[in-house]
Structure 1
Amino acid sequence: MTRTSIPETTPLLPTDAADPRPTTANRTFSRWQADRKDVHDDADGRFDVRQRRQSASSPRSLSCFQFSFLLLLVGDLCSLVLVCSLSLGLSTVVRLQWLLNTHHLAWRFWGLPVWATAVKSILCLLATRWPDARVMAWTVYLFCGVFVTLLAVNAFTLDALDQSPGEETQTLVDANVANSLPLIFTVLEVVNLNYLLDSVKTPVVQERDTLPQVDGEGTLDTETTPPRGISLVKFLSILKPYFWPHGLTNKLRALSTYVVLILSKLANLAAPLLMAAATNALVAKDVGRATSSIALFSALTLVSKLFKEMQSLIYLKVKQTAYIELATLTYGHVQSLSYDWHVQKKLGDVLRSMDRGVESANSVVSYVFLYLIPTLAESVVVIVIFAVHFELAGLSFVAFSSLVVYAYLTIKITLWRKKYREASMRHDNEYHDKATDALLNYETIKYFGNERHEVEEYSKVIEKYQRYSLSSQASLSVLNGSQAIVIQATVLVALTLAAPHVVSEDSGRKIDIGAFVAISVYLTNLFAPLFFLGGIYNMVINSVVDMKKLSELLSVEPDVVDSPDAVQLGVSKEDSEVGIDVSFCHVSFHYPSQSANTGLKDLSFTIPRGTTTALVGETGAGKTTISRLLFRFYECDSGKIMVNHKDIATVTQESLRQAIGIVPQDTVLFNDTILCNIKYGNLNATFDQVVEAAKAARIYDFIMKLPDQWNTKVGERGLKLSGGEKQRVAIARTLLKDPPFVILDEATSALDTVTEQEIQAALNRLKANRTMLVIAHRLSTICHAHQIIVMRDGGIVELGTHEGLLAQPGSIYGGMWNTSTKANDR
C-alpha cells in the first residue's frame, strides 16, 4: 500500500457546520492521528518507528523476524557442521570417500537441514506475526528438529551396518552423541526465540503509519488483515461441538468422519505409485501387470473420491447438530443477560454477532479443518515421499518452496482483487436499484417527460458496473496466470531434477520412468486442492473476526444473578387470593449510564397486600424505574426491596417475576397469532382459560369478528392492532398469568376517551383480589387508590389519599389535579 505524506494540521475529513461535534470518520481519523503522533514522538522516551528504518548497521534496524531467522539458521548450521565433523572425524578415508560419493547419506546431511530450516523459518514468521498461534508454531518447530534428528540417527545406523565388527558399536555410540545436537539446538532455538518475542515489542507500522480509508458513511475501509485478540483456547472452545459433539451417535459419526478422511487421503497418496508400476510394466511389455496396476490405480482413485463424499455425508449430521447446539447456546446466553445490557446494545449488532459467529464456525470447520489442513498434511507427506522414497532432497525442497510461493501469491492477489470485486458488487446493486426506482416511479417520469434522462442515468450506472466488472475479471486472470506460472515452473524444475536419474538409470535412487510419471502426478495433486486458497484465506480471516465477536458475546456476564443460596419466593393460596405486600426500604439507585446524583434517593414506602398504590410525578421522576427494580432488572445501589417479607436479592429471579404481572404503557406483541400472544402469560393454560381471560379483558368480541379469529396474525410488534386492542391483549395476558401483584404502567395514557373507559372496565376486573401499583398519567384514573405517592427528582415529596392530598394547602398533587381538571374542561 502506498503511503502519502499528509500534514497533521490538514483538515482531511469535513465536519458538519451545523453540528460542532466530530463525525464518526473524524473521530476515527483523530484517533489514528494521535496514535501516529505518539509512535513518532520519542521526546519523552517512547519508541520511534523511524528508528526501525535506519541503516542495517544499526542494531535496532534488525527486525525481530530477521534476528530470529539468523539465530535459527546459525543453530542449524552449527548442528550440521558438528554432526558432519564428528562423523568424518571418526571415519577412515574410505568412509570419507563413501560419504561424499554416495547419495545414501548426502541428502540426509545436506538436503534435510535445508528444507527443515525453511519450514522453521515459516513457523518463526507465523509465531512473530500471530502471537496467538505461537504454541502451535513452536510445537511444529520442535517436531522439525526431532524429525531431522531421527532421520540422521537412521543414517548413522545404516552406515554402522557397513562398518567392521570392531567399529560398528563405536559408530553407533558416536551417532547417538552426534545426532542429539540438532535436537538440542532446536530446543535452545525455541526457548531463545520465545524469550525474544516476549521481550521485544514489534510496532505495527502499517496500522500506525498508514492513513485509514474512510468511505462516505464514515466507516473504515481497510484491507483484510490477520485478526488479533481471540485466544486459541476460546477459538477451539467455540469449535468443540464440531469436533467432539454430544451424544454417542454423533461422537461415532465424528470419529467415522476422521477415519474416512484419512483413508481418502491414503488412497490418493498411493494411487500415483500404482501409476508408476503400470508405466514400468508397459516399458517392460508386461501387459498383465500393467493392466492390474491400472485397474488398481483407477480403483484407488475412485475409492478416494467415494470416501471424500462419504466423509461429507457422515459429517453432515454432526455439523447440523453442532450448529444447532452453538446457535442455541448463544441465544440462551443472550436471553440470560441483564436488562441493562439489552438496553445498551444495538439489536442489529447483536444479531450480526450471533448469526455471523455461528455461520463462521461452520465455515471454518468445513473449509479449514476438513479441507485445508488435510490438504496441507497430504502435501507434507508428498514432500516426505520425494525425500524418503525417491531420495531426492532437492525435489522435496523445490516442492516445499513452490507451495510457499504459490500460497503467498494466491493470498496477496486475492486480497488485491478484493477491492474490484466489492466495487463490482456495489455498482451491480446500484444499477439494479436505479432500474427498480425508475420503474416504480414510472408515472412521475411520464408526468415530466424525463424518459431520455432516466435512460442516460441508467446507462451511466451500468457503465460503471461493467468497468469494475471488467477489472474484477482481469484481476482473476492475473490470479489464474500467476498460479499457472508457479505450477508449471515447479513441474519444470522438478522433472528436470528427476530426468538425469531416469536417463542414467541410477540404481541407488528409486528413479525410473515410472517414478518420473508418479512425480508428475504427485505435483498435479499437490496444487489442485489449493486453487481456492486465496478465497479460503479471506473467508477464514473474516470468520475468525466474526468468531472473536461471538466469543466476546459469550464472555459477557449478566449483571444480575441469583445468589448461590437463593430460595423460591413462595406464593401461598392466601397470597393468590388477596395479593402480597411490597416494601421499599431506603432504596437508592441510578442507572449505570447516568451520574450518581440522579435516580432514586433513599426511597421508602410500603404497599400493603390487597391495596392499590399510585405513583404520580413528572417525566423522569423515577416512576418506571421503581417497576424495573421490582422485577430486579437492576440491583439497588443501597437499601433493599421486600416482597412478601423476603428480600428480592435472596430469592430466584424466576419465582420473583412469576409473582409480578405488568401492563406496560407501550404494549409490544410478538409477530404471532392473538392466541399465542395471550397464552404467553401462561404457556400451560388451556384454551378455555384463554377465552375466559379474553372475555374479562373485553377483547373476546373483537377477536370473534376477525376473519381468522384466534389465528389472526398481529404483525411485527402488534402493529396490525390499534393501541386499545393491544392494551386489552396485554390485560388478557396478565389475567391469564394471574399474579398476586400487578403493575399498571400508564396503561391508558395514550387512549381516547371511549377506549379508555373500556380499558378501565377491564382493569377493574384485573384489580380484584390483587396488590396493585399504578403508574398514572391521568389523575382521574387513580382517585380511588388507597394511597398516592407523589415523586420528584427521585424522591417522595407527598404521600396520602386523593382527598387527603387535595386538602393539603399548596400541595403539589393539588396543583397537578387542578391542571388536569382544566385540561379536561377545555
Structure 2
Amino acid sequence: MSQSAEHVPLLGKTHHSRGPPIASQDRNKRDLLCLQASLLFLIVIDAIAFILLAIQTFGSSFWTFRWLGAQYTSKTFRFWALPFYGLCVKILLLLTVTLITIITPHKSQSTYSASSKWQTFKQLCNVFLLFFVYMWNVSLIILLAVDAFQLDTLFVSVNVHDRWILAHVKTANSLSLVFTVLELVNLNHLPRTSLTTFFKKKSLGRLPMQSLEGARVEDVAEGVPFSNMMCILRPYFWPKGTANRARACSTYIFLLLSKLLNLLSPLYMAKATNAIIKQDTGAAILALAIFSSMTLGSKLLKELQSLIYLKVKQTAYIELATYTYAHLHALSYDWHVHKKLGDVLRSMDRGVESANSVVSYLFLSLFPTIGEAVVVLVIFAAHFQLASLSFIAFLSLVLYAYLTITITLWRKKFREASNKHDNEYHDRATDALINYETIKYFTNEKYEVESYTDVIRKYQTQSVTVQASLSLLNSSQAFIFQMTILGSLAIAAPYVIRHEQNQSKGLEDAIEISVGDFVAISVYLNNLFQPLAFLGSIYNTIIRAIVDMQKLSELLSIEPDVMDHPHAVDVSVSEHTRTHGIPVSFRNVSFRYPRSTATDKADVKPAVGRGVRDLTFSIPAGTTTALVGETGSGKSTIGRLLFRFYECDRGEILVNKYNIRNVTQHSLRRIIGMVPQDTTLFNGTIYENIKYGNLEATFEQVESAARHAKIYDFIMKLPDAWNSRVGERGLKLSGGEKQRIAIARVVLKNPPFVILDEATSALDTLTEQEIQMALRRLQRNRTMLIIAHRLSTISHANEILVLHEGEIVERGSHEALVGREDSAYARMWHAQLLRNEALYAGDKSQISEDSEVHE
C-alpha cells in the first residue's frame, strides 16, 4: 500500500503533502474571475441607481447640485453619501481582487506545501470581500425601499415655530421633508437660520424607524440625538470608582473568553468524533474532556460575567435614577404645571429601567452574538474551506435579521396602541381613586367601574393582537432556522461522503471534510442560531428600551427656564436682619407668562397675556404689605416672581438689597417663607410634616413651632400624637389643621420674609380667627407680604396695594383707602361688609353676584 501510495501523483491524483489537483487550481481561478465579474456588474447597477435617484430627487436644477456639494463638504448631508460610499468600496474591492489574482503565483506541486498560509489568507480575504459586497448591496436595497415605499429611517427635528413646513410636504417621509425645506429656502419662504437649525438637529443614527405619514403638525415631536443616549449609558461602561471600573473591565474580559471557548469547543468535538471512528479511545476521551471543559468554562465565565457586572449595573442604576430625580426637581415651575405627573414618573421609571435593558441585551448579548457569527463564518471559509457554506449562513442571518426587523416594525403600531390603552386605564384608575370623595357625592361608582372595565377591555383586546403578531414572528424565525440547517448540512454532506470514499481508497481531496468536521459544523450552526431564537423578543425589548431611553433623554435635555448665573452669590442675612425682617422692593417689574408650546394636561391652559406690568413698590424691613384685587390681577404672580419660579421680563426685584437675578435660587428661597392657600402635605406623620420646614430641627423646636401655630393641643389629642399619619396630600386633616401645620413649618424655618397667599380664604369664621391669631404671632419682627381676598384680614397692614390687570391702581393704608368713596378698595370693603351683615342676619338673598365677584 505504501508503494502504490507513492505512485499516486503519476496517476493524476494528489497527496495532501504535494499540492492541489489541477482541477482545484482551475476552480479557484474561475471563482476569482466570477467574483470580479460580479463586482463589475454590481458597480454598474449601483452607479445607474444612484444617478437615477439623484435625477429623480434633485431634477435638473443647477442650484440643488451646488447645494449637495456644499452639504457633502460640510459633512452635514449624509443620506445620499451612503450609495456613494458603497460604490467607492466596491471599486476598491474590485481592485483588491484583481491584485490578488495578479500576484497569486502559479503553484506547482513542489511549492504548494510552502504556500498553505497564503491559501488561508486568500480564503479569509474572499470571505470578507463577500461580506462587505453584500452588506453594501443590502444597504442599497434598503435605501431603494425607503424611497419606493415611503418608509422613514430618520427622525427629523423641526423647530417648534417652523412646523408649518409639514403642510407643504407632498410625500410623507423625512427625505421629502428635507427637500421641501430646500425648496422653500430657494423660494425665500424660509430664513436661512431655520435651515441651519434644521440640519444641525437632523441625525441618521436614531431608532426606531418612524413614518410621518398621517401625522399632524402638532403630533411631530423633536427627535433626540443618539449621542445623548450614549451619555446616559456612560456609567454602565465606565462607572465611577476604581472597584467598579475593575468590575466592568473584568466583565468585558470574561465575556470575550466565554465567546472564545464557545468558538473553539466544536473543533474538539470534531477531533473526538474522528478519534472514535479511528477507534482511538485515548484521543477520543481527551478531546471529549477538552470539549466538555470548554463548554462548561464558557457557561461559567458567562455566569461569572453576569454576577460581576451586577454591582456595576446597580451602581449605574442608582446614579442614573438619582440624577433624573434631581433633574426633575431642578425644572421650572411652568414645566411642572403643564405636565401630567403620571407620565413624568413613567418616563423616569421606564427610562432608567431601559438603560439596564439596552446594556444587557444590546451590548452584552446582541453585539457579542454578531461578533461570534462573523468569526463562525470565517471558520467555515478558512478552516473547512467551504466559502459557499459561509455565504449561505451569512444570507440566512441577513434574511433572519431583516424579517425580524420588518415584522417587529409592523408590530410596533400594535405595541404603541397597547401602551396607549395601558396608560389610559392606569390614568383612569388613578384619577378615580384620587377623586373618590366626589364620586361618592354624586353616587357614580357604577359609572366609574364601567368606564374602567371598558378601558381595560380595550387594552386586553390590543394585547391579543400584540401576542398574535409575536407568534407570526416566532414562526417565521423557526422556518428560516430549519431551512438554514437543512441547506448548510446538505452542502457539507457530499464532501463528507467523498472524503470517506477517498479515504478508503487512500486518496486525498482538495477540500477535506471529515465526519468530525460535519459534526462540528452542526454544533457551530446550533451555537450560531440558538441565541438568534430569541432575537425577536430581544429586538422588541431593545426597541422598547430605546424608545423609553429617548423619552428619558428628552426629559433630561429639558433645561430649566430659570437658572443661576455662573457668578451668582448667596444671599447673606445677619442675625439682626433675621430677627427684624429684610427690605423687599420691585422696580418697574413687568412679566408675562410664557406661551406653552405643548401641554400634557388637556384642562390646563397657559395664562397667555396675564402677568404684571410696571410694578414699583417697596416693603420696608419688619413691615406688612397686602395685595388685593380680582382673580387674575397678578397677586400670586408677584409671589412666584419673588421665589424666582419665573424671571421677570423687565425691571428688577431686590431682596435684602440683592438683585435676585444675581443670587442663587437656594439661598433666596431659604430666607422666604410661604403659607399657601391650599397646603399640600406629604403622606407621613404630623411630626415629619412639621419638621420638613427645617430638617435639622430638634424635637423641642418642632414642639415650640406647633405651639406657635396653635396646633399642639390638637396633636396631643390624637391617639398616636406626633406619629399620626396625615394621609395622601393630608386628606385625613381638615383645611384649618393643614393650615396650622403650614404655619408651623414656616415658624420652624424662621425666615425673615414671609408670604401669606390667601391663607384663610377657604376657612370658616371660627377657624379663620384661630389661624389669624397664629399668623399675628408669625408676623412679629418679620417682613410680610399678604395676598388676601377677605379685606378684614389685612386692615392692620402698613400698606395695601390694589391690583387690576397686573397694574397697581391704588395704594395706601386701610383707613386712607376706605376714606376714598370712589376707590375700588372702598367698594370691595363695603360689598364684603354687606355680605357679612346678610350672613349674620340669615338673609343670604341680599348677597349680590357682584360682591362674590369682588371677593
Q: Secondary structure at the match of 1:207?
A: coil
Q: Deviations over 1:397-452 (max 9, x none)?
A: 111111111222233344556777899999999999xxxx9xxxxxxxxxxxxxxx
1:50-129 alignment runs, 5 A limit: 71=87, 74-75=90-91, 78-80=94-96, 82-84=98-100, 86-87=102-103, 107=123, 112-122=128-138
What is residue 526 of structure 2 aligned with on the other side? Answer: 524
1:117-196 alignment runs, 5 A limit: 117-122=133-138
1:389 aligns with 2:393: no
Q: Deviations over 1:277-330 (max 9, x none)?
A: 100110110111111211221121111111111111111111111011001111
CA distance in 2, matches of 1:463, 1:643: 55
Residue 343 of structure 1 deviates from its aligned partner by 2.1
Residue 723 of structure 1 deviates from its aligned partner by 0.6
Task: Please give the TM-score of this superposition, normalised by the length of structure 1.
Answer: 0.73
CA distance in 1, matches of 2:497, 2:663: 87
What is residue 699 of structure 2 aligned with on the other side? Answer: 687
CA distance in 2, matches of 1:544, 1:95: 59
What is residue 718 of structure 2 aligned with on the other side? Answer: 706
1:301-380 alignment runs, 5 A limit: 301-380=295-374
1:325-724 alignment runs, 5 A limit: 325-416=319-410, 469=464, 478-505=472-499, 506=508, 508-509=510-511, 511-593=513-595, 598-724=610-736
What is residue 429 of structure 2 aligned with on the other side? Answer: none
Q: Which runs of 5+ in 2 are unaligned?
A: 1-55, 64-78, 147-151, 157-201, 427-431, 433-448, 500-507, 596-605, 839-855
CA distance in 2, matches of 1:430, 1:344: 18
Of 396-405 and 538-547, more deviation after overlay is shown by 538-547
1:749 aligns with 2:749: no
The letter for the 1-side match of 2:533 is: F
Q: Report the CA distance shift for 1:763/1:43 in structure 2 as closer, same or farther (over 3 A).
A: farther
Q: Report the CA distance shift for 1:348/1:72 in structure 2 as closer, same or farther (over 3 A).
A: same
CA distance in 2, matches of 1:379, 1:41: 38
What is residue 286 of structure 1 aligned with on the other side? Answer: 280
1:776 aligns with 2:788: yes
What is residue 74 of structure 2 aligned with on the other side? Answer: none
The answer (yes or no) to whether the contact 1:582–1:641 under 8 Å persists in 2 is yes
What is residue 830 of structure 2 aligned with on the other side? Answer: 818
What is residue 207 of structure 1 aligned with on the other side? Answer: 211
The answer (yes or no) to whether the contact 1:614–1:776 under 8 Å persists in 2 is yes
What is residue 820 of structure 2 aligned with on the other side? Answer: 808
Q: Deviations over 1:569-596 (max 9, x none)?
A: 1111111221111111111111113799
Q: Secondary structure at the match of 1:487?
A: helix
CA distance in 2, matches of 1:334, 1:818: 46
Q: Which runs of 5+ in 1 are unaligned?
A: 1-39, 48-62, 134-197, 438-453
Of 815-824 and 590-599, more deviation after overlay is shown by 590-599
CA distance in 2, matches of 1:785, 1:797: 17
Q: Deviations over 1:78-132 (max 9, x none)?
A: 32563255337x8699999999xx9768746755533331134346678997579
The letter for the 1-side match of 2:623 is: T
The answer (yes or no) to whether the contact 2:683–2:730 under 8 Å persists in 1 is yes
The answer (yes or no) to whether the contact 2:590–2:614 under 8 Å persists in 1 is yes
CA distance in 2, matches of 1:246, 1:772: 47
The answer (yes or no) to whether the contact 1:589–1:637 under 8 Å persists in 2 is yes
CA distance in 2, matches of 1:430, 1:228: 24
The answer (yes or no) to whether the contact 1:76–1:113 under 8 Å persists in 2 is no
CA distance in 2, matches of 1:747, 1:402: 72
Q: Report the CA distance shift for 1:479/1:566 in structure 2 as closer, same or farther (over 3 A).
A: closer
What is residue 231 of structure 1 aligned with on the other side? Answer: 225
The letter for the 2-side match of 1:502 is: V
Q: Secondary structure at the match of 1:495?
A: helix
CA distance in 1, matches of 2:302, 2:218: 42
CA distance in 1, matches of 2:296, 2:302: 10
1:246 aligns with 2:240: yes
Of 641-650 and 241-250, more deviation after overlay is shown by 641-650
Report % sequence identity: 56
Q: Secondary structure at the match of 2:530?
A: helix
The letter for the 1-side match of 2:664 is: T
Residue 73 of structure 1 deviates from its aligned partner by 7.5
Q: Report the CA distance shift for 1:428/1:813 in structure 2 as closer, same or farther (over 3 A).
A: closer
The letter for the 1-side match of 2:618 is: T
Q: Secondary structure at the match of 2:556?
A: helix
Residue 248 of structure 1 deviates from its aligned partner by 1.2
CA distance in 2, matches of 1:588, 1:520: 78
- CA RMSD, 1 decimal: 4.3
CA distance in 2, matches of 1:228, 1:117: 35
Q: Secondary structure at the match of 1:543?
A: helix
CA distance in 2, matches of 1:428, 1:647: 48
CA distance in 1, matches of 2:558, 2:62: 34
Q: Deviations over 1:768-802 (max 9, x none)?
A: 11111111111111111111111112111111111
Q: Deviations over 1:593-613 (max 9, x none)?
A: 379964212111111111111
The answer (yes or no) to whether the contact 1:132–1:231 under 8 Å persists in 2 is no
Of 316-325 and 645-654, more deviation after overlay is shown by 645-654
The letter for the 1-side match of 2:836 is: N
What is residue 25 of structure 1 aligned with on the other side? Answer: none
Q: Secondary structure at the match of 2:715?
A: helix
The answer (yes or no) to whether the contact 2:317–2:352 under 8 Å persists in 1 is yes
Q: Secondary structure at the match of 1:636?
A: coil
The answer (yes or no) to whether the contact 2:271–2:516 under 8 Å persists in 1 is yes
Q: Secondary structure at the match of 1:488?
A: helix
CA distance in 1, matches of 2:653, 2:552: 36
The letter for the 1-side match of 2:751 is: P
Task: Please give the TM-score of this superposition, normalised by the length of structure 2.
Answer: 0.71
The letter for the 1-side match of 2:98 is: L
CA distance in 2, matches of 1:775, 1:464: 47
1:760 aligns with 2:772: yes
Q: Report the CA distance shift for 1:647/1:103 in structure 2 as closer, same or farther (over 3 A).
A: closer
Residue 655 of structure 1 deviates from its aligned partner by 1.4
CA distance in 2, matches of 1:742, 1:761: 16
CA distance in 2, matches of 1:426, 1:804: 60
CA distance in 1, matches of 2:467, 2:550: 33
In the comparison of the two structures, how many residue pairs are matched? Answer: 672
